[in-house]
Amino acid sequence: MGQSMAGHIMDAGYDVLVYNRTKEKAGGLMDRGAGWRDDPFALAADSDVVITMVGYPADVEQVYFGDRGLLEGARPGTVLIDMTTSSPDLAIRIAEEGKKKGLFILDAPVSGGDRGAREATLAIMVGGEKEVFDSMVPLFNIMGKGIVLQGGPGSGQHTKMSNQIAIASGMMGVCEAVVYAKKAGLDPDRVLSSISAGAAGSWSLSNLAPRMLKGDFAPGFFVKHLLKDMKIAVEEAKRMKMEVPGLEKTLELYEELASMGFGDNGTQALYKLYDK
């Protein structure tokens, strides 16, 4: 996803520097003219705006707070935007530390998967100060369509947790609906053509259910990353003293799926637990 997003920014005429823990993965961008820096510190020191998208909260923490990290290298006035799906508390901590150093911080996780990144149609959920958000809207418009400031620091991450809760529990419904249709002796593709157009319609039903039926479990979004997101959401719900039985059941099923060796599959692989 990050490569597609950076590519759109280059296409819009911006000068782009890149850093990745595995340099070879940035080769395509460098072939197109992106500059390379050897660590987050060096990249931040030479940038006006830094966008991060990594795997897990621990990775975010390392990139921002670690030795030769972004917070150490960025010049006052630099805008740092974390587009990783991560912990709201960590987003707030980054914003607080950045403010002490004269930096401007936004948390801006996205939804839309690999296709949304390629087609620049990502939903972008932003937390931070309005003035900073407003100044970055032209950049966000290059990568996405639904761009909304949700509130102060951490609000983007909380919004993404709401998104992931809806997706996770909804995926159970999609799997159950498809397998029910098959066991009832119906043509599941024909069933999808009907229910996708009605009140049951959703992005997952329209885009992932057809992949399930084709046996296509290639990742648009990894099982292991949805697991990470669900665990953050469960912890946040506990902190707010909120019960989330649907989310907890979905987490249990995806943990079972991952234990079977399918963590690198796409989230539609949940179908494998149902289609027996």
Q: What is the pLDDT of residue 256?
A: 98
- Cα dihedral sign, 200-203-205-206: positive
- Spatial distance between the Cα atoms of 103 and 80, rounded to a whole number of angstroms: 7
Angle at 74 between CA 58 and CA 1, to 5 degrees: 50
Task: Quote the pLDDT of residue 114.
Answer: 84
Domain residue limits, the chain: 2-152, 158-274
2-152 with 158-274: one CATH topology?
Answer: no
pLDDT of residue 191: 98
Structure confidence by residue, pLDDT tens digits, 15-52? 999 999 999 999 999 999 999 999 999 999 999 999 99
Residue 92 — φ and ψ, nearest 5°?
-65, -40
Q: Can you give the pLDDT at residue 4?
A: 94
Give me the pLDDT at residue 113, please: 83
> Domain 2-152 in CATH: superfamily?
NAD(P)-binding Rossmann-like Domain (3.40.50.720)
Q: Give pLDDT, residue 220.
A: 86
Q: How far apart are CA 218 and CA 267, in angstroms?
A: 9
DSSP letters spanning 115-168? HHHHHT-EEEEEES-HHHHHHHHHHHHHHEEEEEEEESTTHHHHHHHHHHHHHH
pLDDT of residue 115: 86
Determine which one of 100, 160, 238, 249 is catalytic.
160
User: Active-site residue 160, yes or no?
Assistant: yes
Which positions of the chain have pLDDT values less than 70?
none
Q: Scan for tokens 């801006």, then name that residue.
A: 108
Give the integer Cα–Cα distance in Å for 256 and 97: 38
The CATH number of 158-274 is which of 3.30.70.3040, 3.40.50.2300, 3.50.50.60, 1.10.1040.10? 1.10.1040.10
pTM: 0.93
Which are the contacts of 213, defined by CB distance < 8 A and separation ≥ 6? 178, 188, 189, 192
CA within 13 Å, CB half, 259: 7
DSSP for 225-249 reads HHHHHHHHHHHHHHHTT---HHHHH
